[in-house]
Structures are given as structure tokens and as C-alpha cells.
Chain A
Amino acid sequence: MRENVLRVENATMQFGGVVAVDNLNLEINKGEIVSLIGPNGAGKTTAFNVITGVYAPSNGRVEFCGETIVRNHPQGKMKKLYKGQNPELYTTGLRLPDTGITPEERTLLEADERERDPAAFTDKVLCPTPDRITNLGMARTFQNIRLWKSQTVFDNILIAKHLRRTSNLFSATFRMNRREEEAQRADVERLLDIVGLGGLRDELATSLPYGKQRRLEIARALATEPKLLLLDEPAAGMNPQETNDLTEFIARIRSELGLTVFLIEHHMDLVMDISDRIYVLDFGGLIAKGTPADIQNDQRVIDAYLGVAEDA
């Protein structure tokens, strides 16, 4: 069996009365490129935000490389207002079936569960801030480009190396970390070459053309040394030529750097080209999953994208 990198269980994100992500379950294995698609407003970016810790989900659990990184369940006011499924699931960590197993099996399973997640049988809520999740090895880009505007291309990537520092405030201020600093700079040069921005290192990030800004954002995410790369609409606003380049680029970094990639995208050529598997969201819920070929022929997906006649 392939090594599991990301597993999302029962994730529900509710804003007031709106259920933006409804009971999402997905799994990503090591080395895969997996896409999340869906019509506008389907909750794709919200799903990303739940995984990366921007939002604490109303309910559900996210596992990264076998370790639980996010866990929440409806509490307080949300207990009454909660509209999703299985609100009791993560209050006790009971992911085991009630019937059909012997007590011995249950004990074994429970021990197994406890080993995977020491806090599994408590009510403990686990909602780390995005920086802690990035530290674990998950990096993302944004739908609307969020580069550091007053910084150069080089510095944008260099800053992202900050989280892998070993120097403390004192040693960094008094330049006792020269070796580390040089290693960081060398690494940034390498990344610049990989994404093909080597000649633009001293330009301001915002002075780059759009497609290159996207590439820079990916390079910046790569600088955090991730195992899993999350790309939020990397081809948005790109012309077909740029999209083709990007497709090749994503495939290349996957094979060269041994990454796992999870992406949201609207360009179907790109998605169908490089995805190993695809998940389809509509109105917050998962409506289909499978290989690109499966998805292309799935009636529910076609309906979601094209619409269905009301009284047909």
C-alpha cells in the first residue's frame, strides 16, 4: 500500500447558516497529483483553508503523514446550530464500528488508534495556526497572489526559508549564523533556477508579469521544504501557452523533488492532463471521485457543471 500523506475525515465548515464544506472525506498518497474541482462557490478554497489551518473546521479531522494535525467538533453554541453529519464523532474519537467486532479486536483497534493519535479518546480540540502546519511540511499558494510586495524576487524566497532556521534572535542579529545564511542563499539560487526566474532575482516581486508571479509563489512555497504542496488555482488568468508550461512545470517538480501535489483548478486541460485522481465538490459536498477518465464520464459532475433542467 502507498504511504498516506493527507487524510481529511468528515471535515465540515459552517459559517453561520452556510455550510461551505459539508462532510468532506479525502485521501492523498505519497507522490500523487490530486485535483479538487467544482463550480464556483463549491467550497474548494474553504477546504484548503481548513487543511492549512486558516479556519478551524466546525467538525472533522485532518491527518498529515499519519499524524492528526487538526481536530474539532461542535461545541458550545455550535452544538445546536450544527448542520453537518456526525457531530459526536470527534468528541470521543470513536471511529470504530459499534457492532460486529469482538471486545479483543476493539481493544486492539483502540490501542492502534491511541498510538496514531494520543489524544484520540479525549475531547481535545486541535486547531493549530497555519504557521505550525507549514512547519510540519505542508505549503500552499493563494488564489489571489499574495507575494510580499516591497521585497525582491530573491528576498521573497529567502524569507520563506525563515521557518527552517536554527539560529535564534541573538545569533542571527550578531551574524553568528553565516554558514546557515549562506546555505539558505545557495538554496534560494537553486530554487530560482528550478522555476526559471534566475535572471530576475533583484526585481521587485510585483514588477513581474502575472505568470511569473505565480511561479514565484510556487518557488516560495517550495522554499519551506514541504512534503505536500497545495496549489490554489495556479493557472488562474493564464493563457493556454502559459498553462501548458505550468502543467509541465508541476509534473517536473513532482518528479524532481519527490513532492505530493494537491491542487484546485478550473482549467480542465491542466487538471485532466496531470491529475492522478480528482475529487469533485459541489455545494460543499463531495459528488464524485476517481481518475480523470471516470470524472469526465460522471453524470453528476456533468450536471453540476452544466446544470440540470428543473422539471425534466
Chain B
Amino acid sequence: MIKKKDYKKTWIALLIAAAILILVVVLDNLPSKVVPSMLLTVLQKGAIYALVAVSMNLLNGFTGLFSLGQAGFMLLGAYTYAVLTVPVARQASVYQRYPGGGLGFSVTESLGNSMGQLGLFLGVVLCLILAGCVAGLFAWFIGLPVLKLKSDYLAIATLGFAEIIRSVVQYEGLGPVTNGSNLLYGFTGFSDFHMGELKLTTMMPFLFAGASILIVVLLINSTYGRAFKAIRDDEVAAEAMGINLARHKRMSFVISSFFAGISGAMLAMFQASVQATAFKAAMTYEILLIVVIGGIGSVTGSVLGSFLFVGCSEWWLRFLDNETILKNFSAKVQFCALLAALIAVVVGFGLLRLKRSGRKIIFRSGKRIAVDWGPVLALALAALALGWDVWFLLSSNLKLPLLRSGFRMVVFSVVIMIVVLFFRKGIMGDQELWDLRRKRRSAKAKAGAGK
């Protein structure tokens, strides 16, 4: 009986996955007037970031190891992939500063020449797995000394490692392989995939990331995943119940790095070029941010968070970086009305919070009653913003203030602060999408039993 239910669930999951892939292919092939090219960029990069965020969540959220080495492992994956797949004909121009550099063969090229698109696909899969393996191998060695550390110390050590890797890759002596600090380019990317006229550029990252995330989810729900969660919840108890801490931590670290390596390779495919300087600690922080926004310990949270993050940083908040001058007074009225509406929504939520917190702001005869200052502060800020809005409407200036290059990051930081202050559990907390349905059902059952 249980088995039947399991099969049903598997079928539903497969159907949803197939639907998403088909939708992505359709989006990819619609004329660019209908589908903005930005959407495709966001989808591709979002899928890649989703994988690396899930891999980081496996380590930070499910095993409780606070590691900040993700960018380092991504870099290893990206370089492994790039070095293996630069076409032979282009190696001379790519490695022009290191004559005779390059491997002298290209996995995807040779497979692609002999078997066409299928060969190309197999070659890319092979190289992605190799990229993951290189990252995993490094993780295994680094894990030996580093995983004895706990919390902040582990974070510092892994962060240091990532920086070391970045410097080593740029080392002149490795130039014939890594091209020193110069770009590697010309290798097989997502845009090389097509089926006749049908473009598969966006489907490929979805396919690879989806398959990898599926494996992580299966792992998390297996007996090993449960052991990881036990280590996160209480190490001492886990060890006393026979879970080998060193072994399981290393396992989690290596697997996480394996998938970080794969996503690094995919990032290289997406960007069509690799340079070590791009894989800075800032990249790790971006991923950490996605994990926190999505919810630590939630795979769906990480996936949603990464699309949201990439969407915001690449697309929706781009306008904040452009200096904007409104065309005429009516445009200004529209802008001010929009802002006022936004403020009204914020104020509404603030009032809702006040009401729900159940604290009355009444001063009885000299007796102060505790006030929840968060919403009060928010309301005060909203009032200030509204005042400014009115002032801007009445002034003769048509140029929108504040909007200039770099302002996007300021807004982003503020959004993050708000998330961390008020929605500390992130979008999903430690729940998954499929948990929510089950929870509602069990709540219903309980209410029914109560009657």
C-alpha cells in the first residue's frame, strides 16, 4: 500500500519536472519580442545558483557545518570543465601567453565530432562529473584537517582555502594548464545545444541542475541524510548513537563540494568564459544569502531563493542603477501615486503586526505598557517617506533622486536587512513545498478529531 502511494508521488514529480522542461524549451524558442532575453538569462543563472545553493544548504542547513568555501570549489569545477573542453583549434589563441599550453585535446569536441549532439551531450555530462570529482577530491583532502574545527573556525578555514585556490590557479607556473590569470574561453557552452532548429540553451542548465538537486533530495531523505540531520541537531547524541562523526561530516563536505564543482562548471558554460578573479568570497556570500533568504534547511527554499535573488540582482532592480528623468508632470504624479500606494501597503502590514502582537499603546495613569518598537519604527519611516513623496510632487524637479549607478546594491542590502530582522526563517523556514500540503492535511485531521 505504501509502495503504491510512493509510485504515485514519483509519477507526479516526474510529470512536473517534464512540464517545467517543456515550458523552458518553449520560452527559449518564442520570438524575443514575446520573451525578454533577460528572462532567459535569469532562468539559466537561477538554475545554476539553485544547485550551488542547495549544495551549500546540504552542508550548512542539513549537516550543521558552517562552511564558506563554496566559491573555491566552484572555481575548481569551472576550471576543470574549461580546460577539458577548449577546442583544439582554439587552444593556440586562448593560451597565447603560454605557447604550447592546453591539453591538446577536447573531450566535448572529439565526442561531438564523432556522435553529433548526443556525443556533445555525453561529453558535457562526463566533463561536468569530472569537474565535480576534482572539487570533491580537493574537499576530501581539505576536510581531513579542517573538519575537526567547529562553527566560525570552520568558516574561516574554508574561506581561507577558497582564497588560496584562487591564487594558486592564477600562478604563472600553472599557466600552460590554467592560462594563469587570463581568460579561458571558446569552450562548449549551453548555446551549443540544439535539436535541429529547436534551441535548448535554457533547458540544459535546468536539466543538469534538476538532476543534481534530485540526487541531493534523495540523499537528504535517505538514512545518510537523516544521520546528517542528527549531527546538526546534536553531535554528542549522534556520536553516542553510533554515527561516525568524522566520516559523515567528510561525506557531506565532499558531496556538497562535488555539486558546487558541477555548478561552477555550469557557470563557466553560462558565461562562456572563466577567470579566477570572478570567484571571490563575494560569490560565496551571495550564495549564503540565497540560502538564508530561502530558509536554512529547505531545498525548495534555496531554489526559490536563487531565482528570486538572480531575478532581483540581474533584472528587476536594474532600474535603480539608471539615472531617470521623468518626462512630464503626469508621469511624476503617477510615480508619486505608486510610491504612496507602496507606503500604504507597508503601513497596512505594520498595523497588522501591531494588532497581532496584542500590545496596546495606551499609557494608563503613569503606567507604561511595553510597546513593540519594530512596527512603530516602520510606521515612522513610512510617514517620513510619505512626507518626502508629497514634497517631491510639489517641487519642480523632474529627475528621480537617489537613482544612480550602485544604488541597486544599497536597496539590496536594505532588503536583506529586513529579511534578516523580520523574516529570520527565510521564505520556507526548514519546510519543503511538499511538507506544507501534508501539514495542512494533518492539521485538518487533528481539527476533525478534536470535534
Binding site for B on A (CB under 8 A): 52, 54, 129-132, 134-135, 139-140, 142, 146-151, 155, 158-163, 165, 167, 169, 172-175, 177, 181, 184, 202, 220-221, 223-224
Using a CB-CB cutoff of 8 Å, which residues 214-269 of chain B contact chain A? Answer: 215, 218-219, 222-224, 226-227, 229-230, 232-234, 236-246, 251
Tell me whether A148 and B233 are in contact (CB under 8 A). Answer: yes
Please indicate the chain B residues that have their CB under 8 angstroms from the CB of A175 in the complex.
218, 222
Please indicate the chain B residues that have their CB under 8 angstroms from the CB of A161 in the complex.
223
Say how far A82's CB is from chain B's closest CB, in angstroms: 27
Task: Give the complex CA separation of A132 and B226 in angstroms.
Answer: 19
Tell me whether B233 and A162 are in contact (CB under 8 A). Answer: no
Tell me whether A130 and B239 are in contact (CB under 8 A). Answer: yes
Give the contacting residue for B242; candidates A131, A142, A158, A172; CB below 8 A.
A131
Please indicate the chain B residues that have their CB under 8 angstroms from the CB of A130 in the complex.
239-240
Judge if B432 is at the interface, Cβ distance under 8 Å. Answer: no
Tell me whether A131 and B243 are in contact (CB under 8 A). Answer: yes
Give the contacting residue for A129; candidates B233, B245, B442; CB below 8 A.
B245
Residue in chain B with minimal CB distance to A226 = B242
Using a CB-CB cutoff of 8 Å, which residues 31-63 of chain B contact chain A? Answer: none
Say how far B437's CB is from chain A's closest CB, in angstroms: 15
- Given the known interface contacts A134-B240, A134-B241, the answer about A149 and B226 at a Cβ–Cβ threshold of 8 Å is no
Please indicate the chain B residues that have their CB under 8 angstroms from the CB of A52 in the complex.
240
Task: Give the complex CA separation of A34 and B244 in angstroms.
Answer: 29
Tell me whether B245 and A131 are in contact (CB under 8 A). Answer: yes
Please indicate the chain A residues that have their CB under 8 angstroms from the CB of B219 in the complex.
169, 172-173
Judge if B430 is at the interface, Cβ distance under 8 Å. Answer: yes
Task: Give the complex CA separation of A224 and B237 in angstroms.
Answer: 12
Chain B residue total in the interface (Cβ 8 A): 28
Please indicate the chain A residues that have their CB under 8 angstroms from the CB of B232 in the complex.
150
List 24 interface pairs A-B (beta carbons < 8 Å), by A numbering. A54-B236, A54-B240, A129-B246, A130-B240, A131-B241, A131-B242, A132-B244, A134-B240, A139-B240, A139-B241, A142-B236, A142-B237, A148-B234, A150-B233, A151-B233, A158-B226, A159-B227, A162-B223, A167-B223, A172-B219, A173-B215, A173-B218, A174-B218, A224-B241
Task: Give the complex CA separation of A135 and B227 in angstroms.
Answer: 15
Task: Give the complex CA separation of A134 and B241 in angstroms.
Answer: 6
Tell me whether A147 and B245 are in contact (CB under 8 A). Answer: no
Task: Give the complex CA separation of A160 and B244 in angstroms.
Answer: 12
Task: Give the complex CA separation of A165 and B442 in angstroms.
Answer: 31
Please indicate the chain A residues that have their CB under 8 angstroms from the CB of B227 in the complex.
159, 162
Please indicate the chain A residues that have their CB under 8 angstroms from the CB of B242 in the complex.
131, 134-135, 139, 160, 162-163, 224
Residue in chain B with minimal CB distance to A184 = B223
Taking each of A131, A147, A158, which has the highest tally of chain B beta carbons within 10 Å of its own beta carbon?
A131
Say how far A179's CB is from chain B's closest CB, in angstroms: 12
Task: Give the complex CA separation of A115 and B243 in angstroms.
Answer: 30
Residue in chain A with minimal CB distance to B241 = A160
A-B pairs, 5 with minimum CB distance? A163-B242, A134-B242, A148-B233, A146-B237, A172-B222
Tell me whether A172 and B224 are in contact (CB under 8 A). Answer: yes
The interface bits of chain B over 380-418 (1 if a CB of A lies within 8 angstroms of the residue's CB, else 0) are 000000000000000000000000000000000000000
Tell me whether B230 and A129 are in contact (CB under 8 A). Answer: no
Task: Give the complex CA separation of A192 and B224 in angstroms.
Answer: 22
Tell me whether B239 and A148 are in contact (CB under 8 A). Answer: no
Task: Give the complex CA separation of A142 and B240 in angstroms.
Answer: 10
Tell me whether A169 and B240 are in contact (CB under 8 A). Answer: no
Query: Beyond the given A54-B240, A184-B223, could you list 12 further A-B residue pairs with CB under 8 A, ordered by the A residue number?
Result: A54-B236, A131-B244, A142-B237, A148-B234, A150-B232, A151-B226, A151-B230, A151-B233, A162-B223, A162-B224, A163-B242, A169-B251
- Given the known interface contacts A131-B239, A173-B219, the answer about A162 and B226 at a Cβ–Cβ threshold of 8 Å is yes
Say how far A181's CB is from chain B's closest CB, in angstroms: 7
Please indicate the chain A residues that have their CB under 8 angstroms from the CB of B243 in the complex.
131, 159, 162-163
Please indicate the chain A residues that have their CB under 8 angstroms from the CB of B246 in the complex.
129
Residue in chain A with minimal CB distance to B227 = A162
Tell me whether A150 and B430 are in contact (CB under 8 A). Answer: yes
Residue in chain B with minimal CB distance to A135 = B242
